[in-house]
Chain A
Amino acid sequence: MTESGMAASTALTGSTAQLKFRDPVRGKALAKALEKVTRDVGRAPVSVMHVCGSHEQSIAKFGLRAILPAGLNVIMGPGCPVCVTDTPEVDEAVVLAGDGVRIATYGDMVRVPGTMKSLGDMQAEGARIDVIYSAAQVVELARDTAEDVVFFASGFETTAVATAAIALMPDLPDNLSILSAHKYIPPVMEIVAEMPGSKVEGFLAAGHAAAITGYGIFERFVERHGIPVVVAGFEPLDILAGLVELVQLVRDGTPKVLNAFPRCVSREGNRNAQGQLWKVFRATGGRWRGIAHVPNGNLRLRDEFARLDTRKKYRIDLRRLWNHAAPALTQLCVCGDIMAGIAAPTDCPLFGKQCVPDTPVGACMVSSEGTCKIWHQYGGVPRL
């Protein structure tokens, strides 16, 4: 926890320079403050949503749910990029892998189930799947081989800017192309806000995505929907402080954007990164797994980058996969409802039984940011 991070919260006074991120005294003070502002709202429950898997991880890991006031409902939104990667997107990579193309992707993507198979299954059958950490590794990988390399690129805007930077590098090897499954967060907040029966009264926005886009991006959203947005970091005290601010805004009926993560986020964000992002990508409508068709929710390569676009370079025929019926178990997966905030993992008959981290049925059990995996790891987090 940092000085400026805390200074943004009206719940604390005095010097916070020595503040440790898990300082229990400050944590308790914030929890008390949260309880008070929640009570001040005068009705229950107050429902807010976070849209970042890392927020859920912190909440589960540090047991924050246990100290959240009973009247406050913190809903997990569609914040796990692996989980919202749609099945056909995984299928595209699976088909290419089956055709002998080498696939480079981030770790969690290997186990995300497609319609029939995951990339991990393809690897077991002999396909070349390279797990990368840094986006820049794909360039080295392509330079070092004569084989075709496809960068199966997933993640939100924070990660998409790294892909954009790659696309803008001079002298990229011809054997490299990009299969973009990147997603853009702001439009899905609109979807959730407009869902019939949506109870979301405020959003806790992800600090690192906002580091790129700036918190100014949420101003129009707030104007349109009258719902407050607070940008928060990932330390427990960051989250508590962000929640205090958010519930204050709900209580006061003053929808606006507040930045509770000033050490990483400014109003304008990282202009350079935005420039690169929109030079390479355009936002287009597409499905988010389990959520909905999200207008402008998918990031796809612009025509100027067609030579780098896997979808232009290959004819990817998904019908071979779709001739088979989908495995019956996946039809029971309620990942989508969980991400939309209307179900919990314990509502799923497979949770902890047929679906566990080693043999995930749905994407929410794959990623360390997936709600089902987090609940499984931390023994579940019932409403306390």
Chain B
Amino acid sequence: MCLGVPGRVIAVEDQIATVDFWGVVRETRLDIVDEPVAPGDYILNHVGFAIRKIPASEIGETLALYEHLMKEAEQDMMAADVRAEIAGLGQAGEGCDD
């Protein structure tokens, strides 16, 4: 699904960023994103790749959205998708593919 997941960059090495998605730390590739990414930046992740650096002014609201979504009922597909997207950043999971 095309929500994408935002996370905070902890470290960058070559084309791989270590990113914190609410305490879940995963690697995200930087081959696609069109701006330099540095620790402290927020990025939007899609199928393991950063697709956009999120402007600082937008971060609070975006994170609040996803945090809220994650608290939704377990049965909720949208929340499940976001969780799977985070869990799956380094492992297999029911994922989005658009």
List chain A positions with a Cβ less than 8 A from chain B: 1-4, 19-22, 52-54, 57-58, 61, 79-82, 106-109, 130-137, 154-156, 158-159, 161-162, 165, 168-169, 206-209, 211-212, 234-235, 263-264, 270-273, 276, 368-369, 373-374, 377
**Whole-angstrom distance between the Cβ of A274 and the nearest chain B Cβ:** 9
Among B42-98, those with CB < 8 Å from A are 44, 46-49, 51-52, 54-55, 57-58, 61-62, 64-65, 68, 75-78, 80-81, 84-85, 87-98
B33 within 8 A of A: yes
**CB of B13 closer than 8 Å to a CB of A:** no
Can you list 26 residue pairs at the A/B interface with Cβ under 8 Å? A2-B61, A20-B64, A21-B65, A54-B3, A61-B76, A80-B98, A81-B97, A106-B95, A106-B97, A131-B95, A133-B92, A134-B29, A134-B47, A154-B97, A155-B96, A158-B2, A158-B51, A158-B98, A165-B49, A168-B31, A208-B2, A208-B4, A208-B46, A211-B52, A212-B51, A377-B77
Q: Count of B residues near A, CB < 8 Å?
A: 45
- Whether A263 and B97, one on each chain, are in contact in the complex, defined by CB atoms closer than 8 angstroms, is no
Give B residues with C-beta under 8 Å from A. 1-4, 29, 31-34, 44, 46-49, 51-52, 54-55, 57-58, 61-62, 64-65, 68, 75-78, 80-81, 84-85, 87-98
Q: Across the interface, do A270 and B51 meet the contact criterion of CB distance under 8 Å? A: yes
User: Across the interface, do A58 and B78 meet the contact criterion of CB distance under 8 Å?
Assistant: yes
Q: Which residues of A contact B68 (CB under 8 A)?
A: 20-22
Q: Which residues of B contact A80 (CB under 8 A)?
A: 98
Taking the closest CB of chain B, its distance from the CB of A273, in whole angstroms, is: 5
Do residues A131 and B94 form an inter-chain contact, with CB atoms below 8 A?
A: yes
- B61 x A133 contact (CB < 8 A): no
Q: Is the CB of B47 within 8 A of A162?
A: yes
Closest approach, in angstroms, between the C-beta of B48 and any C-beta of chain A? 2
